[in-house]
């Protein structure tokens, strides 16, 4: 991560107009990040309030792996043939 002193030095080397535009962009990005954080928090609270049983990541991962086998039977067979 860039040190604050390095950022200030770079801003000071810019023309006042360009430095103002950069600072404005940084402010916009900070505001966007705050909005995204707020939305993430709202989404998390809504998910926690949903009825039903909680599912662990390990259980979910197992179910997803079973649905989307990265090595379907034909591919496993080919792998066994090539390994011989």
Residue 81 has pLDDT above 80, yes or no: no
Strand, helix or coil for residue 52 = coil
Q: What's the rounded Cα separation, in Å, for the pair 59 and 54?
A: 10
Confidence at residue 9, expressed as pLDDT on a 0 to 100 scale: 87
pLDDT tens-digit readout, 45-75: 999 899 988 889 999 988 888 887 666 666 6
Average pLDDT rounded to a whole number, residues 32-56: 94
pTM exceeds 0.85 for this model:
no
Locus of tokens 């535009």: 21
Contact between 72 and 79 (Cβ < 8 Å): no
What is the pLDDT of the chain when averaged over all its residues? Answer: 86
């Amino acid at each position: 991560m860039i040190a604050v002193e390095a950022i200030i030095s770079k801003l000071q080397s810019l023309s006042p107009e360009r430095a103002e535009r950069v600072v404005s962009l940084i402010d916009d990005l900070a505001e966007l990040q705050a909005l995204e954080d707020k939305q993430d928090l709202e989404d998390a609270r809504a998910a926690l309030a949903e009825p039903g049983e909680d599912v662990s990541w390990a259980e979910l991962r197992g179910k997803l792996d079973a649905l989307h086998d990265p090595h379907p039977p034909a591919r496993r067979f080919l792998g066994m043939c090539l390994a011989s």
